Structure 1
Amino acid sequence: MPVAPELTRDLVYRPYSVADKASCLKLFNGNVPAYFAQSEGSEFEQFLDDCPGTWSYDVIVRSDFIVACGGYALDAHGTTASLCWGMVDNALHGTGLGRLLTMARLRLANILETRWYYENG
């Protein structure tokens, strides 16, 4: 499913900051119980408290509201990327925003992997 052009207009993809915590928790709660168990909430909150840690975590903002968030990390060798805690505002499911979030994280991980290989290869 392609992302609708009107959806991508005015989207800002940026790193997570502590000021985003409440909005990210709201996204999480909007995806319970369909995609996350309520019991995972404390783990997600701890993850946000520890950000960035070893993970890169980002948000997608539209009209001053966080509409998606998600992260990734590379292994110690820079050869394998893992995705974590990706979620989209429940009202925007089916719009392609989740695909956009996933593709952005994969592209960023590939850029980092390529840079690591170039510098250490």
Structure 2
Amino acid sequence: MNVSDPSIREYRPRDIEKVAALLRSNIPKYFVPAEEQELRDYLIEHPEDYYVMESGGEVVGAGGFAGNKDGSIGLCWGMVRNDLIGTGLGKRLTLFRMEKAREKLGDRPFMISTSQHTEGFYQKLGFETIEHIPDGFAPGIDICKMVAVRE
């Protein structure tokens, strides 16, 4: 698949099955099966500020953002189809979400709870790990709480 020119658009409720399929493509390394219902609930309750990345008519990535109670911005449910990890789509989608979040919420710190499997990805984007909880999401999937402050 040529992923050199993907498009990113706002999430629509009819995308829910395609976004859930993205998550399933990343089980068991990045997500556990129980998280699919959490994702579905999130998209039903908070469809705003969530985006879908398409390439060749297929949904290849998705992710959003939300304001946190502490004033930071959270990056929410970001993922790329498993067979496309490492192609640059994740970076493009993450930078897009950060730009949209700054436009809407201002220049505030970004927070993310991710796993040890994507910790290095976010470090390359300027995030620093502030807390590490072994098996925090599930056995073999740690919670890495990370923060990025725009300079």
Q: Which TM class, normalised by the smaller chain length?
A: 0.7 to 0.9
Structure 1 position 7, deviation (Å): 2.7
Query: Mapping of 1:71-86 within 5 angstroms?
Result: 71-75=64-68, 79-86=71-78
Structure 1 residue identity aligned to 2:30: Y
Which of these residues, 29, 42, 48, is aligned with residue 37 of structure 2? 42
TM-score (norm 2): 0.64
User: Which residue does the alignment assign to 1:7?
Assistant: 3
User: Which residue does the alignment assign to 1:105?
Assistant: 97
Is the counterpart of residue 27 in structure 1 residue 22 in structure 2? yes
Q: Name the structure where strand makes up a greater proportion of residues.
A: 2
Gaps of 5+ in 2: 108-151
Is the counterpart of residue 18 in structure 1 residue 13 in structure 2? yes
Q: Which runs of 4+ in 1 moved over 4 A?
A: none
Gaps of 5+ in 1: 1-5, 116-121
Which fold has the larger relative contact order, with Cα–Cα distance below 8 Å and residues 6 or more apart in sequence? 1
Structure 1 position 66, deviation (Å): 0.5
Identity of aligned residues (%): 33
Structure 1 position 110, deviation (Å): 1.1
Q: How far apart in 1 are the matches of 2:4 and 2:67?
A: 27
Q: How far apart in 2 are the matches of 1:39 and 1:75?
A: 23
State the secondary structure of the residue aligned to 1:86.
strand
Instruction: Provide the aligned C-alpha RMSD in A.
Output: 1.9
State the aligned residue count.
Answer: 106
